[in-house]
Amino acid sequence: MAAAVAVIVVALVVAFVATKARRPVHPTVVVGDLGDRPGVVLFSSTDCKTCKETIARLKSLSLPFREVTYELEPHRFEEWEIVAVPLTVFVDVDSHSVAALTGVPSKRSLTHAAARAGVVSTGS
């Protein structure tokens, strides 16, 4: 019985680590003046399917965001060393980045990061 419990615990730890390892970690992003604080900044590209999915998810949660598109503002990507899209950055009232989410973030990740940054949903 103890061996079975140990195997289950090991399996759960391995699954947790594997889940965290799948999502790439982006280096810390320091975002300049892009609007109101607290806020959400989405770095995207016009031909990025997952960027469109991230936009839809942000809209579904009624989270206000500022989109920075590579094709329109490549200098910002270079200046802030953005290496992957989509990248969703949450900035608190003091202009500190409190979260940088790569890929299409889960609704839970988005709402948690928004709460940490103090971003308020525009919906009901």
User: Mind listing the pLDDT tens digit for each residue in 74-122?
Assistant: 998 888 888 889 999 998 888 888 888 999 999 999 999 999 989 888 8
Residue 33 in domain: yes
- How many other C-beta atoms can be found within 10 angstroms of the C-beta atom of residue 121? 11
Residue 15 in domain: no
Residue 20 in domain: no
Q: Which residue has the higher pLDDT, 33 or 83?
A: 83
Side-chain-facing half-sphere of 99: CA atoms under 13 Å: 20
Provide, for the chain, the percentages of residues in helix, strand and coil under a 3-state DSSP scheme, each rounded to the nearest 5.
Answer: 40, 15, 45
pLDDT of 47 reads 92
pLDDT of 98 reads 87
Domain span at 85: 26-117
The model's pTM: 0.72
Rounded mean pLDDT of 42-47? 93
Q: Which of 42, 38, 41 is nearest to 95 (CA)?
A: 38
Total of domains in the chain: 1
